[in-house]
Amino acid sequence: MSATTSSPSAVLRTAYQQSVAAYWNAEQDPVNLRLGDVDGFYHHHYGIGDYDPSVLDGPADARNDRVIREMHRLETAQAELLLGHLGGISSGDRLLDGGSGRGGTSFLAEQRFGCQVDGVTISESQVDFANRQAAERGVADRVKFHFRNMLDTGFATGSRHGIWTNETTMYVDLSELFAEFSRLLVHGGRYVCITGCYNDVTGGRSKAVSRIDEHYTCNIHPRSAYFKAMAANGLVPIDVVDLTARTIPYWELRAKSALATGIEEPFLTAYREGSFHYLLIAADRV
């Protein structure tokens, strides 16, 4: 299927979705672009793992470049961890990247599995950027990006062996999203998400979580909402990994970088106080 561009009115259902699309169409944040420039994999998510403290030492004139490369290494490690939970994917399978951004995880998936990957996003500028990347990489026949809503992709029922969302579920209704993903997956197909979610035990969004919502124009869900919506749509978790402790080093390093945006402290506060969790959930379609 070739990459498609639909009319905005057909893709953006609500005023909220229009505002989210406008945000990402205009977004030129160096914390995304400078990191992607390291090796051409442009991600729109965060990292996991301990950072090498030596990047903060050494000649000051090269410090920023060292930190950028290390942050990018951590975010690529996050994407590789996600892909590793998709299970047995063969070159003849088809995958879907829900909320594909500038395409980083999709290109890593094609490189890893050698299969067809479709990415969908409500940002037309991201679609254009990612399709240019696919052409430049020589994989446009296997990796295609579409201006579509992941709540209503238009792809055929049972056409996907694997689907993932990488920090995008906080922009949509989970019941609608998982109903669509359940429709798209073959029996036994795998859905994997990495997401930030607030801790139900603390009794609602903390001040720090609310600041994150405001910064990114998103609506962070409680942890329980993921499992309730999955259960209602035939998605059975096979693996749940708490990545909270493993993502804190990324945010500590980012807070020390020249690319800090000011949102680092709310993330660190929320993670450290336990009001916010960073989870990987892998679920099978039954």
The tens place of each residue's pLDDT in the chain, 286 residues long, gives 345 556 777 899 899 999 999 989 988 878 778 888 999 899 989 999 999 999 998 787 899 999 999 999 999 999 999 999 999 999 999 999 999 999 999 999 999 999 999 999 999 999 999 999 999 999 999 999 999 999 999 999 999 999 999 999 999 999 999 999 999 999 999 999 999 999 999 888 999 999 999 999 999 999 999 999 999 999 999 999 999 999 999 999 999 998 999 999 999 999 999 999 999 999 999 9
What does the buried/exposed string (b/e) look like for 138-169 if buried means 16 or more CB atoms within 10 Å of the residue's CB? ebbebbbbbbbbbbebebeeebbbbbbbbbbb
Other C-beta atoms lying within 10 Å of the C-beta of residue 128: 16
Q: What residue spans define the domains of the chain? A: 23-285
Q: How far apart are alpha carbons 190 and 89 in whole angstroms? A: 10
CATH fold of 23-285 reads: Rossmann fold (3.40.50)
